[in-house]
Amino acid sequence: MPPIVRPERLSDEPANSDRFVGGLSESIGGPLGDHAVRQPVRMPGGGRFWTPARVVLLLVCAMLSFHWMQKSPCRDAAWADMEQYKYFCYTDVLALYYAEGLNEGKVPYADHPVEYPVLTGAFMGVLGLPVHSLGQQGVVSNEGQTFYDLNAIVLGAFGVAAVGAILAVRRRRPWDAAMFALAPALFVSATVNWDLFTVGLAAIAMTYWAKRKPVLAGLFLGLATAAKFYPMLILGAFLVLSLRTGKWRDFFVTVGTGLVAWLAVNVPIALLYRDSWLRFFEFNSERGIDWGTLWYIGAHFPRGSGQYGFPFFQQLDQDPEHSTLNILYLGLFVISCIGILILGLTARHEPRLAQLAFLIVAAFLITGKVWSQQYVLWLLPLAILARPRWGAFLAWQAAEVLYFVSFYGELMGASGRQVFPEGVFVLASILRLVTLCVLVGFVIREIRNPEQDVVRTTYEGKDPDGGVYSDRVPAEEDKPGELVKAG
């Protein structure tokens, strides 16, 4: 006879559905069996206290606290003898408090051009100007440290919000959110810049879309794009699925609301401080080949006899206007997007929204001329929603940590104290690129073969993130399998 199905067993058990986790579980007795009885800790009122969601939220709070401890050697802003590189604790948040004139009471855009989109500049000003005022009154003794700590708290809140968003759309798979909470990249990069702010807003937008609230989805997507431009790429996934399914109403509502939100934030600044507002666009157009990108690898690849780089890539790097570089990387990204469009339209069952969104953002980073260390945070929620499997995910995360460590060694070398040969950093950059490409390959494979998609298996063939796109019930031959109700 089949095992009795308990309601609490309807959710996914990672040790049963993920071979990597299942293998690790053997060291503590193996996965739960079909007849395992849970004995949860219960509150006085009879409810279970340590639910998976609460455990995951506790884990992300702990990880963000550990990250703050890891950055603590740099909080006093002394940074003597390259301490910010030796202790891996550099953060733009603290450096730009001084570089953007916040320590002098300058208002972003009004008194000083900012190289970030408007909402990130506003974020900096809303926290930085009160800190400077309190410093002038003698209430705060170390303005930079206080500014960083405030940012760490608020950015941490947006990181927790991102985990909450994953939990909200993965009620049958709550342990997927633990991948974000325990991600090594979150530990090393959470407050390197203000990206967690955008990541939280974008995750909330996708949650509202999954809940079929296109106005709120558009609002938060517009605000996220006003903070960093990458959330705009997620609209490409909506476009592909609208073309595939013919469902346009919610798409246009989301795009329209997002555009209104973005304009509401940007138009006043563009009208009042046009030159400062344009600085972000000019800065990104003028940037050359940045650390760790595909283009950097080509310009610095070790060729033996102490020689590095290929002439074609070096010429791109030496062009002061970077016009050819801009055309090439945008061209490669457009070609990648066309490939994703073809994939989305030709797959025998429409891809999940998160799968397409992950592929588009990953393609943008792989082909782009800028791939800053903290950009890994952009991909974290999307990768987890697209393919919640631990093995390839942790391999990619290990490569990101190796890149993080080697990057600080490269910065020390650029500052006059060489730690290792250039080839070490190039190798770390290649490993980061390759592991992400492997993860992209796995997602493409699961789009082509939906029976291998564990999310569809758990949700009986549907897309829990898809909103209106998940209405269609797949044909019998399309179904990736029944829900494994016994775990």
**Comparing C-alpha atoms, which of 78, 116, 25, 70 is closest to residue 390?**
25
Dig out the tokens for 319 from the structure. Answer: 């062009």
Q: Provide the 3-class DSSP secondary structure of residue 264.
A: helix
Say if pTM beats, i.e. exceeds, 0.85: yes
Let me know: does 3 contact 9? Beta carbons within 8 Å. no
What is the predicted pLDDT for the residue at 486? 30
What is the predicted pLDDT for the residue at 409? 95
In a domain, 84, yes or no: yes
Dig out the tokens for 398 from the structure. Answer: 């290990």
417 pLDDT more than 80: yes
Q: Provide the 3-class DSSP secondary structure of residue 279.
A: helix
C-alpha span between 398 and 474 (Å, rounded): 37
67 pLDDT more than 50: yes
| pLDDT 10s digits, 117-160 | 999 999 999 999 999 999 999 999 999 999 999 999 999 999 99
Burial class (CB in 10 A: 0-12, 13-18, 19+), 97: buried
Residue 37 pLDDT level (bands cut at 50, 70, 90): very low
Residues of the chain above pLDDT 70, percent: 87
What is the predicted pLDDT for the residue at 227? 98
Q: Where are the alpha helices (DSSP H) in 11-142?
A: 14-17, 19-25, 52-71, 83-86, 92-99, 118-136
Contact partners, residue 51, CB within 8 Å, separation at least 6: 40, 174
Let me know: does 322 contact 288? Beta carbons within 8 Å. yes
In a domain, 169, yes or no: yes
Q: Provide the 3-class DSSP secondary structure of residue 304.
A: strand
52 pLDDT more than 80: yes
Domain count, the chain: 1
What is the predicted pLDDT for the residue at 346? 97
| Bridge partners (DSSP) listed for residue 112 | 108
Question: What does 211-261 look like in DSSP terms, one character per residue?
Answer: TT-HHHHHHHHHHHHHH-STHHHHHHHHHHHHHHH---HHHHHHHHHHHHH
In a domain, 283, yes or no: yes
In a domain, 1, yes or no: no
Let me know: does 276 contact 114? Beta carbons within 8 Å. yes
Least reliable range by pLDDT among 228-232, 276-280, 317-321, 462-466? 317-321
Q: Provide the 3-class DSSP secondary structure of residue 308.
A: strand
Mean pLDDT of the chain: 90
8 pLDDT more than 50: no
Dig out the tokens for 225 from the structure. Answer: 């794009």
What is the predicted pLDDT for the residue at 16? 62
Question: What does 93-128 look like in DSSP terms, one character per residue?
Answer: HHHHHHHTTGGGTPPBTTTB--SS-HHHHHHHHHHH
48 pLDDT more than 90: no
Q: Angle CA(288)–CA(328)–CA(443) in degrees, nearest 5?
A: 100
* Angle, helices 323-346/231-245, rounded to nearest 10 degrees: 30
* Angle, helices 118-136/214-227, rounded to nearest 10 degrees: 60
219 pLDDT more than 60: yes
Higher pLDDT, 412 or 304: 412
C-alpha span between 313 and 290 (Å, rounded): 12
Q: In angstroms, what CA-CA distances link 406 with 107, 123, 315, 328, 413?
A: 35, 30, 25, 27, 10
Handedness of CA 124, 127, 133, 136 (dihedral sign): negative
Domain residue limits at 458: 50-471
In a domain, 479, yes or no: no
In a domain, 13, yes or no: no
Counted residue by residue, the chain has a size of 487
Tell me the backbone φ, ψ of residue 108, rounded to 5 degrees. Answer: -55, 135
What is the predicted pLDDT for the residue at 15? 59
In a domain, 476, yes or no: no
C-alpha span between 255 and 259 (Å, rounded): 6
| pLDDT 10s digits, 302-314 | 987 778 899 999 9
In a domain, 9, yes or no: no
233 pLDDT more than 90: yes
Least reliable range by pLDDT among 8-22, 134-148, 276-290? 8-22
Higher pLDDT, 381 or 319: 381
Burial class (CB in 10 A: 0-12, 13-18, 19+), 193: buried
Least reliable range by pLDDT among 158-172, 295-309, 470-484? 470-484
C-alpha span between 487 and 11 (Å, rounded): 8
Higher pLDDT, 153 or 484: 153
